Amino acid sequence: MATGTRRAQRRTEALSRERIVEAAVELLDAAGESGLTFRVLTERLATGPGAIYWHVANKRELLVAATDAVVADALAARSTGSPREEVHAVALGLFSAIDAHPWLAAQLLLQLSRSPGGPVTPRILESLGRRVRALGVPEEHWFTATSVLMHYVLGAAGQNAANSQVAEPDADRAEFLAATAQAWEALDPEEYETTRLMASQMREHNDREQFLAGIDLVLAGVAALYPGGRA
């Protein structure tokens, strides 16, 4: 009996929570949320379900852990530049993570709305909030400024990822943008005057540059509302 217990403990130690989460991320990347099942996970890890349940209670907890692990990696890179440059670095880290993991945007939305107590939401808020503080924003406005910045980052990055997912698999980005610009230019000139004039700018835009331009617009608003800061 004692020997069996020791063997079970060794198996549990060998199969760490980190390895389970790593395998879950791999499955999510390959097949999305529907492809992440405990049956498939046990096959990938060559173990029994009991060993996994020892570390993770259910699929919801596993999704939270996988989301947190990817976000933590995205925020790990540090910038030693100005507060603005650090905001750019944090934002681009999240942008790249959401672009690389098609399931992440939806999970972040769920975490922010269903489980704002953690661990994902506080991690992102802390990372951005520290930079907001460094910009000289008064304490009573930290939450508003940080929340607006966070929602822009996650919303814009999520939209970019969604655009990539719905595009034709073999479509060339330049061809896609050219076709879209052509469609805009063909709109009624009275009803869609401004959209038609923006068509050429849309055709030539760079997604990451546009994303960072949006960050700077938010930071410019922060500087205008809270003068004396360092945005």
136-159 tens-digit pLDDT: 999 999 999 999 999 999 999 999
Please report, as a single letter, which amino acid is at residue 36. Answer: L
The confidence score (pLDDT) of residue 166 equals 61
CATH of region 84-225, choose from 3.40.140.10, 1.10.1060.10, 1.10.357.10, 1.20.1250.20: 1.10.357.10
At 231 the pLDDT is 52
Alpha-carbon span 106 to 145, nearest angstrom? 23
Residue 10 clears pLDDT 60, i.e. is over it? no
Indicate the Cα dihedral angle 177, 178, 183, 188, nearest 10°. 110
- Identify which has the larger pLDDT, 21 or 8: 21
Write out pLDDT tens, residues 94-106.
Answer: 999 999 999 999 9
For residue 152, the tally of other CB atoms under 10 A from its CB is 16
The two structure tokens encoding residue 174? 């330049």
* Domain parsing of the chain, residue ranges: 84-225
Separation CA 43–CA 71 (nearest Å): 26
Q: How confident is the model at residue 171 (pLDDT cuts 50, 70, 90)?
A: low
